[in-house]
């Protein structure tokens, strides 16, 4: 019953989409109509819908094994996934023949429109040691940062953004960039790009042992001045110099764009502005461009036109997405980005 309560609560807002080794979720803002498991037996649990238009495959109750009331309940909710016994039956959707490693069938058979265009492999770029720590009020010791990075690498992450060579006056939390690089110098199994806002930062990063760098622009004029104390055009001039210096050393350069759908000062940001900055970064030699929803206001409805605009100038395999979950939309935005062909997620 405990498991049923958990599934009942979780199913009210979330649907799993299985694709090879990828597990993402999409929020479904729909009424579940499921009474509390504590008040009835598992065999009487049902899911009721006013309309079948949004999720028509959920209307049919499927008993996954005779006498198996738990799986019967799961099927009535639309959770057509049997994990009891020796059987494995993943998402047998009505009129949609989807298969994966979950049932050992060849994935070429899948026809589900939600999954058909998702890339087979997804690259994760971990930015916790920079983006995750930079706003912490209490200074995190260098040893703790190094331990965090090592644990992230041990989890299998191939890329961990280690630190940022910015002015300590602007970001005190990252003032120990050189020491962090020294602490992870002998760590193997991952790449460790670092943020560099200008040539001075780039030179400091190289001296500390960095082999990859990242630059960060914005699609909002106000945010650019607030974040890096210069206009968009001024920042692009700086980054062009960094890209040239990196090119001489054959260092990859990653480009970030902040405020790709919304700005805390200007409000909504036009997709054309994002596309302009993305094109400039791509033209100067950035090997990858990460599109960041800095304040987490994006939804699929605003993310799609932004991505379409950017893809008009930058190949999709050169793009990454970076969503904040401020309003609970990050997973939905990631899903739609994957469906549009993007295969790198911060």
If one compares 35 and 252, the residue with the highest pLDDT of the two is 252
- What DSSP line would sit under 20-46, residue for residue? TTEEEEEE---------GGGS-GGG--
- Mean pLDDT calculated for residue range 258-287: 98
Give the integer Cα–Cα distance in Å for 166 and 205.
10
Place of tokens 């191939």: 158
**Between 160 and 93, residue with greater pLDDT:** 160
What confidence tier does 169 reach under pLDDT thresholds 50, 70, 90? confident
Considering the domain 123-345 in this protein, what is its CATH number? 3.20.20.70
> Cβ(91)–Cβ(98) under 8 Å?
yes
pLDDT at 281 over 60: yes
- Report the pLDDT value the prediction gives residue 117, as an integer from 0 to 100: 76
More confident residue, 31 or 281: 281
Tokens of 286: 């950035």
Q: Check whether 195 has a pLDDT greater than 80.
A: yes
Q: Angle 226-305-224 (CA atoms, 0-180°, nearest 5)?
A: 10
Which pLDDT score is estimated for 72?
A: 42
pTM value > 0.85: no
Predicted local distance difference test score (pLDDT) of residue 344: 98
* Residue 112 confidence (pLDDT): 58
Burial (CB < 10 A; 0-12, 13-18, 19+), residue 295, is middle
pLDDT for residue 23 is more than 90: no
pLDDT value at position 225? Answer: 95
Mean of the per-residue pLDDT values of the chain = 77
Per the CB < 8 A criterion, the answer to whether 331 and 275 are in contact is no
**CB neighbour list of residue 341: distance below 8 Å, 6 or more residues apart:** 117, 119, 316, 317
Map out the domains of the chain as residue ranges.
2-109, 123-345
Tell me if residue 300 falls in helix, strand or coil: helix
Q: What is the pLDDT of residues 200-255, one digit of tens each?
A: 999 999 999 999 999 999 999 999 999 999 999 999 999 999 999 999 999 999 99
pLDDT of residue 114: 60
């Amino acid at each position: 019953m405990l498991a049923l309560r958990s599934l009942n609560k979780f199913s009210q807002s979330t649907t799993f989409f299985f694709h090879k080794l990828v597990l993402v979720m999409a929020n479904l803002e729909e009424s579940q109509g499921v009474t509390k498991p504590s008040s009835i037996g598992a065999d009487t649990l049902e899911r009721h819908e006013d309309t079948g238009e949004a999720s028509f495959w959920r209307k049919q109750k499927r008993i996954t094994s005779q006498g198996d009331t738990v799986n019967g309940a799961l099927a009535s909710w639309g959770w057509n996934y049997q994990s009891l016994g020796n059987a494995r039956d993943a998402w047998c959707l009505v009129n949609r023949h989807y298969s994966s490693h979950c049932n050992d069938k060849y994935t070429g058979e899948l026809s589900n429109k939600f999954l058909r265009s998702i890339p087979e492999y997804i690259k994760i770029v971990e930015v916790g040691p920079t983006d995750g720590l930079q706003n912490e009020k209490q200074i995190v010791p260098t040893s703790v940062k190094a331990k965090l990075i090592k644990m992230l690498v041990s989890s299998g992450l191939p890329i961990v953004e280690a630190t940022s060579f910015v002015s300590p006056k602007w970001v005190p939390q990252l003032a120990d960039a050189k020491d962090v690089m020294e602490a992870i110098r002998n760590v193997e199994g991952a790449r460790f790009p670092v943020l560099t806002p200008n040539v001075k930062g780039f030179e400091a990063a190289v001296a500390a042992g960095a082999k990859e760098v990242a630059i960060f622009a914005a699609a909002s004029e106000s945010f650019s001045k607030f974040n890096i104390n210069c206009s968009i055009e001024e920042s692009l001039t700086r980054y062009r110099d960094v890209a040239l210096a990196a090119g001489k050393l054959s260092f990859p350069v990653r480009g970030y764009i902040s405020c790709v759908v919304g700005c805390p000062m200007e409000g909504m940001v036009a997709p054309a502005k994002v596309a302009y900055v993305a094109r400039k970064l791509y033209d100067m030699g950035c090997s990858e461009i990460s599109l960041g929803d800095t304040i987490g206001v994006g939804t699929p409805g605003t993310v799609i036109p932004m991505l379409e605009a950017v893809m008009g100038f930058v190949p999709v395999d050169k793009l990454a997405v970076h969503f904040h979950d401020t309003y609970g939309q990050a997973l939905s935005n990631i899903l739609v980005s994957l469906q549009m062909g993007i295969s790198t997620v911060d």
